């Protein structure tokens, strides 16, 4: 009986470690989104996370919400400087997220300023 409990405990422990390892390292997709950076803030009660939104249309009907990890200091700095500007975001999409990472499954890993296609010439 004791041997069975030890084996079940090890299987449970291995399952939990495997799940969190998968969540930590696996990405579902990666891509690029462009739009006007309309919001970027550091918010949260238990965990402060960096959250932002870009508007992808003239009326703001299409909103892309994203998070930025604390370790990406350059991305955070760039987004603070570019608020209100048209930007091009490179992101990865994760299957799930941890509460201390952010609210969104989309994590921005690079940002560049881009000329808006809506400007009149």
The per-residue pLDDT for 60 is: 61
What 3-state DSSP class applies to 64?
strand
The per-residue pLDDT for 115 is: 83
Six-digit token string for 38: 């309309």
What's the pTM?
A: 0.81
The per-residue pLDDT for 66 is: 97
Name the residue with tokens 């400087």: 81
The per-residue pLDDT for 121 is: 54
Give the CA angle between residues 82, 62, 75 to the nearest 5°: 30
The per-residue pLDDT for 90 is: 97
On whether the CB atoms of residues 54 and 89 are closer than 8 A, the answer is yes
Residue 59 has pLDDT above 90, yes or no: no
What 3-state DSSP class applies to 92?
strand
Reported as a pLDDT band with limits 50, 70 and 90, residue 106 is: very high
The per-residue pLDDT for 3 is: 92
What 3-state DSSP class applies to 109?
strand
What 3-state DSSP class applies to 113?
strand
**What average pLDDT score do residues 26-52 get?**
93
CATH topology of domain 27-113: OB fold (Dihydrolipoamide Acetyltransferase, E2P) (2.40.50)
**What average pLDDT score do residues 92-114 get?**
93
């Amino acid at each position: 009986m004791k041997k069975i409990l030890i084996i079940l405990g090890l299987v449970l422990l291995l399952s939990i470690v495997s799940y969190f390892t998968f969540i930590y390292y696996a990405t579902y997709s990666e891509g690029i989104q462009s739009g006007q950076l309309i919001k970027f803030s550091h918010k949260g009660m238990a965990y402060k996370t960096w959250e932002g939104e870009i508007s992808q249309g003239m009326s703001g009907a299409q909103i892309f919400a994203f998070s930025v990890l604390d370790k990406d200091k350059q991305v955070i700095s760039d987004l603070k400087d570019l608020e209100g500007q048209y930007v091009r975001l490179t992101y990865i999409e994760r299957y799930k997220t941890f509460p201390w990472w952010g609210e969104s499954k989309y994590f921005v890993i690079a940002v560049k300023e881009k000329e808006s296609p809506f400007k009149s010439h």
